[in-house]
Structure 1
């Protein structure tokens, strides 16, 4: 059971790391090249689309599986530190998402439909730089968390 829980934590954390990395290396650089109206419209649609059961299952599942993996590996020597580091790292990504990225997403959505915005450039300016900064942090931490869980699997 301990190995199965660790595999689940590793897979779900890896899926989140991959999603975050895809945004960092493809989605946000592509959106950086579009006009302000298109940027706001696409990010609002992404914010809406990502709120789905599968994303929620993986996002929350990685946190739960990581906590369970820590519990199952508390008395398992050196592997416990890798599991703890991986689970704690993923928890940091959840906290940064809830504390920074989601409030920025909500503020972007509250700006209203893009065709009714008085100043799409100001809306984008207030959103893009802080969102990317926080997103870069959660991407790096999540990739490191995934790496720690991979090491834990190899040691277990």
Structure 2
């Protein structure tokens, strides 16, 4: 049981860190880089990214974080005094990660779908309007995802320390 709790926590840290890094990378590099680009370039690039990102590696991190944090919470909760000290930070990590998923589902995915429905960039009559409707809300929501996932990683790291101390 001890090994299972440790493996679940390590998996939770790693998968959550992957997601935090992805959202952070968009916040500090991808979107600021695109901000300097033309409307059609932003639309085309984000349309291509939205297709490319739907792959097994992304799903491994995205769903893997949810599952491994949930597993770590269940295993530490079931341990009672043997893993109880780590329960609260793991529960907090799960809450933060679920909130990031809610932001994704309620803001980023609908914006991605609207961008795709706008059609090929060269055929959009007013690419500036399409970009305006997409970029600002998407960037703000992504920043929230980055913060929430980073907090989740921090809480999981704290849980890992507590686990190592036998709390």
Q: Quickly name the TM-score band, shorter chain normalised.
A: over 0.9
Q: Please name the residue that 1:123 is paired with.
A: 130
Residue-by-residue CA offset, 1:41-60 (whole Å, 9 max, x unaligned): 10101101101111012101
Q: Please name the residue that 1:148 is paired with.
A: 155
- 1:37 paired to 2:40: yes
- 1:57 paired to 2:64: no
> What TM-score, normalized to structure 1?
0.98
Q: Distance in 1 between matches of 2:14 and 2:111?
A: 28
- How many equivalent pairs are there? 156
- Runs (4+) of structure 1 exceeding 3 A deviation are none
SS of 1:34's equivalent? Answer: coil
Q: Please name the residue that 2:69 is paired with.
A: 66
**Superposition CA RMSD, Å:** 0.8
1:2-151 to 2 correspondences below 5 Å: 2-74=5-77, 75=80, 76-151=83-158
Q: Distance in 2 between matches of 1:46 and 1:77?
A: 41
Structure 2 residues without counterparts, runs of 5 or longer: none
Q: How far is the alpha carbon of 1:78 from its aligned partner?
A: 2.0
Q: How far is the alpha carbon of 1:25 from its aligned partner?
A: 0.5
Q: How far is the alpha carbon of 1:118 from its aligned partner?
A: 0.4
Q: Distance in 1 between matches of 2:138 and 2:114?
A: 11
Structure 1 residues without counterparts, runs of 5 or longer: none
Q: Who wins on radius of gyration, i.e. which is larger?
A: 2
